[in-house]
Amino acid sequence: MFKNPLIRRALSLIVVWIALAFVLAMTQSQTYQRSAYANEATRNIYQAWGEKQLISGVMLKISYDSPRWIEPTDESPGRLTHTKKVAVLVPTESDTSIELSTSRRSIGLFSAPVYEASVDSNLSFDPAAITRVLKSPYDNYPIQHVEASLSVYVKNAMQIVGSPSLQMESQDLPVLANSDITSVSGFHVPLDAAQLASLNTVALRFNARGSESIQYIPVANRATLSISGDWPHPSFLAGLSPGFRDVQDSGFDAKWQFTDINNPAITSIGRCLDGRLCEKVFSRDNAVGVDINEPVNLYRLNGRASDYANLFVILVLASIVAFEVIGGRPVHTIQYFLAGASVSIFFLLQLALSEHFGFFWAYVVAATACVSVLTIFMSGVLGSTRAAIKLGAVVGGVYGVLLQILYMEDFAFLSAALVMFFGLAFVMVKTRKLDWYQLEQSLEVPLKKKLMARKQTENQPSEDGTN
């Protein structure tokens, strides 16, 4: 069986492919390792600058002592007591705009996008709702010990830039730490009795840093939200999709509108009226927002490229076999290995260059270098510069197709499958009339010549006349 030249050639190519597979496995391992380094650096950047932000609108908290009459019994007379109560009211209308200014922060070779958000919110409360809360159930016994505050939840309050500004009727109010609703982060503004009685319109402005995403909880009966920024690749995956969006290379603009019907935060507010279960309000399930992520990750692209590496090597080896058959000049197993190695080293070279020059230019430079080396090498192997240039063009074309596949998000798998199908179809059509038996004989001739030459060399007498 092993005397058949085609079988021997097939076995030798399998050995070459296995050896190259080890090289590719090492390259793929290096890709995963560098990706882990990049992820760690990204996490450090996010922790230093600011992580995902979750912001709520302004809520009004009122705590008071409500009178309660205890009816007399046989054992005790009737008496008046007071019960501590807490009410949480939301604005009747809210108009909020958030503008994002993005930049990049780096640690060594690795960088990640971050943002600074400018929050501007105008809202109005219903004085009648406040009056209803403070109305005593007994005409002769008023509400006592009324305390009120306007509270804003900010998940990462440590990333607030400067001091927030909260104005009531164009009057600046002092801002204190913590949201004052529950034990959650943020800030609040205490209100005295006169301010609570005249509460109507409120204006809120502050800046906060963050990364990855920004989400907003629209705590209002009727709310409008506008988020804009200079990031060209936003994603609106969390919560309700915006009713309007405009995404361009210069940035994006998105708008939402909420009512009592489509605002999930209102349901949670209902459970927060007695001051308990308010943590449920500050959940990402009640929020909408924008994700600020890179659409094409450098190491994800390198990983996807290495996924096609084995197929790529097989295509190149098959191309060399085709040129060997057409040219009639045998190619040694070592030469197959060196040609395949020049292709395999591409993925490592491309990974190293991409960390400095970006994926596209690293791919172009690495592909050009590897195709050039392969063409020069094969010109000597095939004994024809023209044939080597044709082979280089074929390999360069495969590099180009792979680059297009890597940049395709939705059609990458389909494109790869079609390339494989049409490649196989092309080989089948071109070899449908090939006489494989004659090919066996043509491959046997060089081997027989080598054996005869070796025997003649062994039988030649040495210079001293001995055999």
Whether this model's pTM surpasses 0.85: no
How far is it, in rounded angstroms, from Cα 143 to Cα 213? 43
**What domains appear along the chain, each with residue ranges and CATH number?**
5-39+298-451 (no CATH), 51-292 (2.60.40)
Picking from 288, 237, 292, the residue whose alpha carbon sits closest to that of residue 112 is: 292
pLDDT at 154 exceeding the cut of 60: yes
Model confidence pLDDT, tens digit, residues 232-268: 888 886 677 888 888 888 889 999 998 888 777 777 7
**Burial class of 366 by CB neighbour count within 10 A (0 to 12, 13 to 18, 19+):** buried
How far is it, in rounded angstroms, from Cα 117 to Cα 206? 8
- Comparison of pLDDT for 322 and 378, the residue scoring more: 378
Model confidence pLDDT, tens digit, residues 314-372: 888 887 777 777 666 777 888 888 888 888 888 888 888 988 888 889 999 999 998 99
Confidence of residue 434 (pLDDT cuts 50, 70, 90): low
How far is it, in rounded angstroms, from Cα 192 to Cα 163? 21
pLDDT at 276 exceeding the cut of 70: no
Quote the DSSP letter at residue 200.
-
Confidence of residue 429 (pLDDT cuts 50, 70, 90): confident
Q: Tell me the average pLDDT of the chain.
A: 80
Picking from 4, 27, 3, 8, the residue whose alpha carbon sits closest to that of residue 340 is: 27
How far is it, in rounded angstroms, from Cα 66 to Cα 82? 5
Cβ neighbours of residue 407 closer than 8 Å, sequence gap 6 or more: 296
pLDDT at 144 exceeding the cut of 70: yes
pLDDT at 461 exceeding the cut of 70: no
Tell me what the mean pLDDT of segment 432-454 comes to: 59
How far is it, in rounded angstroms, from Cα 248 to Cα 236? 15
pLDDT at 96 exceeding the cut of 80: yes
Residue 392 confidence (pLDDT)? 86
Tell me what the mean pLDDT of segment 151-163 comes to: 86
Do residues 105 and 45 touch, judged by C-beta distance below 8 A?
Answer: yes
